[in-house]
Protein backbone atom coordinates (compact mmCIF):
# COMPACT_ATOMS: atom_id res chain seq x y z
CA UNK A 1 0.00 0.00 0.00
CA UNK A 2 2.90 2.36 0.83
CA UNK A 3 4.43 1.80 -2.62
CA UNK A 4 1.14 2.56 -4.39
CA UNK A 5 0.83 5.93 -2.62
CA UNK A 6 4.34 6.95 -3.71
CA UNK A 7 3.65 5.96 -7.31
CA UNK A 8 0.45 8.03 -7.39
CA UNK A 9 1.86 11.08 -5.61
CA UNK A 10 5.06 11.46 -7.62
CA UNK A 11 3.36 12.04 -11.03
CA UNK A 12 0.84 14.36 -9.38
CA UNK A 13 3.60 16.48 -7.81
CA UNK A 14 5.48 16.60 -11.12
CA UNK A 15 2.31 17.67 -12.97
CA UNK A 16 1.65 20.47 -10.48
CA UNK A 17 5.26 21.68 -10.68
CA UNK A 18 5.14 21.76 -14.48
CA UNK A 19 1.80 23.61 -14.46
CA UNK A 20 3.09 26.22 -12.02
CA UNK A 21 6.29 26.67 -13.98
CA UNK A 22 4.37 27.27 -17.19
CA UNK A 23 2.05 29.77 -15.52
CA UNK A 24 4.75 32.03 -14.11
CA UNK A 25 5.44 35.21 -16.10
CA UNK A 26 8.78 35.74 -17.79
CA UNK A 27 11.10 38.19 -16.07
CA UNK A 28 12.04 41.39 -17.84
CA UNK A 29 15.65 42.04 -18.72
CA UNK A 30 17.30 44.78 -16.66
CA UNK A 31 18.04 46.60 -19.94
CA UNK A 32 14.38 46.77 -21.01
CA UNK A 33 12.95 50.27 -21.28
CA UNK A 34 9.20 50.61 -20.89
CA UNK A 35 6.75 53.12 -19.50
CA UNK A 36 2.97 53.04 -19.07
CA UNK A 37 2.87 49.42 -20.22
CA UNK A 38 4.53 50.30 -23.54
CA UNK A 39 7.78 48.49 -24.34
CA UNK A 40 10.16 50.95 -25.99
CA UNK A 41 13.39 49.04 -26.46
CA UNK A 42 16.11 46.93 -24.91
CA UNK A 43 19.50 48.60 -24.71
CA UNK A 44 21.92 45.87 -25.71
CA UNK A 45 25.15 47.70 -26.50
CA UNK A 46 27.74 49.46 -24.41
CA UNK A 47 28.45 52.99 -25.66
CA UNK A 48 30.20 56.20 -24.66
CA UNK A 49 31.98 54.49 -21.77
CA UNK A 50 28.78 53.10 -20.22
CA UNK A 51 27.67 49.50 -20.07
CA UNK A 52 24.27 48.66 -21.54
CA UNK A 53 23.02 48.16 -17.98
CA UNK A 54 24.26 51.58 -16.85
CA UNK A 55 22.69 53.20 -19.90
CA UNK A 56 19.35 51.53 -19.12
CA UNK A 57 19.50 52.73 -15.51
CA UNK A 58 20.13 56.29 -16.77
CA UNK A 59 17.23 56.18 -19.21
CA UNK A 60 14.83 54.77 -16.62
CA UNK A 61 15.87 57.46 -14.15
CA UNK A 62 15.27 60.16 -16.74
CA UNK A 63 11.82 58.75 -17.55
CA UNK A 64 11.06 58.83 -13.82
CA UNK A 65 12.22 62.46 -13.71
CA UNK A 66 9.80 63.34 -16.53
CA UNK A 67 6.91 61.50 -14.86
CA UNK A 68 7.53 63.19 -11.52
CA UNK A 69 7.95 66.71 -12.89
CA UNK A 70 4.88 68.92 -12.33
CA UNK A 71 5.48 70.78 -15.58
CA UNK A 72 4.69 67.62 -17.59
CA UNK A 73 1.37 66.84 -15.83
CA UNK A 74 -0.53 68.03 -18.90
CA UNK A 75 1.94 66.43 -21.31
CA UNK A 76 4.63 67.74 -23.60
CA UNK A 77 6.51 67.30 -26.82
CA UNK A 78 8.94 64.49 -27.48
CA UNK A 79 11.73 65.78 -29.68
CA UNK A 80 14.44 64.00 -31.70
CA UNK A 81 17.66 65.84 -32.60
CA UNK A 82 20.76 64.72 -34.42
CA UNK A 83 23.98 65.26 -32.45
CA UNK A 84 26.83 64.26 -34.73
CA UNK A 85 26.61 60.51 -35.33
CA UNK A 86 24.20 60.11 -32.39
CA UNK A 87 20.62 61.25 -31.89
CA UNK A 88 18.90 62.47 -28.76
CA UNK A 89 15.34 62.04 -27.55
CA UNK A 90 14.07 64.70 -25.16
CA UNK A 91 10.80 65.54 -23.50
CA UNK A 92 10.68 69.30 -23.54
CA UNK A 93 14.22 70.21 -22.52
CA UNK A 94 14.82 67.00 -20.51
CA UNK A 95 17.16 64.54 -22.21
CA UNK A 96 15.80 61.00 -21.97
CA UNK A 97 17.75 58.92 -24.51
CA UNK A 98 20.94 59.21 -26.49
CA UNK A 99 20.78 56.81 -29.42
CA UNK A 100 24.30 55.82 -30.37
CA UNK A 101 25.50 54.28 -33.64
CA UNK A 102 26.12 51.06 -31.66
CA UNK A 103 22.36 50.82 -31.06
CA UNK A 104 21.52 50.58 -34.74
CA UNK A 105 21.62 47.46 -36.88
CA UNK A 106 23.77 49.21 -39.46
CA UNK A 107 20.89 49.58 -41.91
CA UNK A 108 19.00 52.09 -39.77
CA UNK A 109 20.26 55.57 -38.95
CA UNK A 110 20.39 56.79 -35.38
CA UNK A 111 17.76 59.42 -36.20
CA UNK A 112 15.36 56.83 -37.66
CA UNK A 113 15.80 54.57 -34.64
CA UNK A 114 15.35 57.57 -32.33
CA UNK A 115 12.10 58.47 -34.12
CA UNK A 116 10.67 54.99 -33.57
CA UNK A 117 11.68 55.03 -29.89
CA UNK A 118 10.33 58.59 -29.48
CA UNK A 119 6.93 57.57 -30.83
CA UNK A 120 6.75 54.69 -28.34
CA UNK A 121 7.99 56.95 -25.52
CA UNK A 122 5.21 59.46 -26.25
CA UNK A 123 2.60 56.67 -26.20
CA UNK A 124 3.95 55.25 -22.94
CA UNK A 125 4.16 58.60 -21.18
CA UNK A 126 0.58 59.38 -22.20
CA UNK A 127 -0.50 56.02 -20.73
CA UNK A 128 1.49 56.54 -17.53
CA UNK A 129 0.00 59.99 -16.91
CA UNK A 130 -3.72 59.73 -17.67
CA UNK A 131 -5.18 62.97 -18.94
CA UNK A 132 -1.85 64.11 -20.35
CA UNK A 133 -0.84 64.29 -23.97
CA UNK A 134 2.69 63.58 -25.12
CA UNK A 135 3.25 64.12 -28.81
CA UNK A 136 5.91 63.23 -31.27
Kindly report, residue by residue over 67-92, the tens digit of the pLDDT.
Answer: 999 999 999 999 999 999 999 999 99
CA distance 104 to 56: 16
Closest CA to 92 of 78, 111, 103: 78
Report the run of H or E that residue 111 belongs to, with start and end.
helix 110-128
Q: What is the mean pLDDT of residues 59-73?
A: 96
- The whole-number pLDDT of residue 27 equals 76
Is pLDDT at 25 greater than 70 in this prediction? no
Report the run of H or E that residue 42 belongs to, with start and end.
strand 38-42
- The whole-number pLDDT of residue 106 equals 84
Q: What is the mean pLDDT of residues 35-60?
A: 95
CA distance 132 to 72: 8
pLDDT band at 6 (very low <50, low <70, confident <90, very high): low
pLDDT band at 10 (very low <50, low <70, confident <90, very high): low
99 φψ region: left (φ > 0), alpha (ψ -120 to 50), beta (else): beta
Is pLDDT at 12 greater than 70 in this prediction? no
Q: What is the mean pLDDT of residues 4-31?
A: 63
pLDDT band at 107 (very low <50, low <70, confident <90, very high): confident
For helices 52-68 and 110-128, give the axis angle rounded to 10 degrees.
40
Amino acid sequence: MQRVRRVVWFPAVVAVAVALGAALPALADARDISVGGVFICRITHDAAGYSSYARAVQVNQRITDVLSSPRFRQGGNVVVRQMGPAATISVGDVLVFTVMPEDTDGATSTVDLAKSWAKLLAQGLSQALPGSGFYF
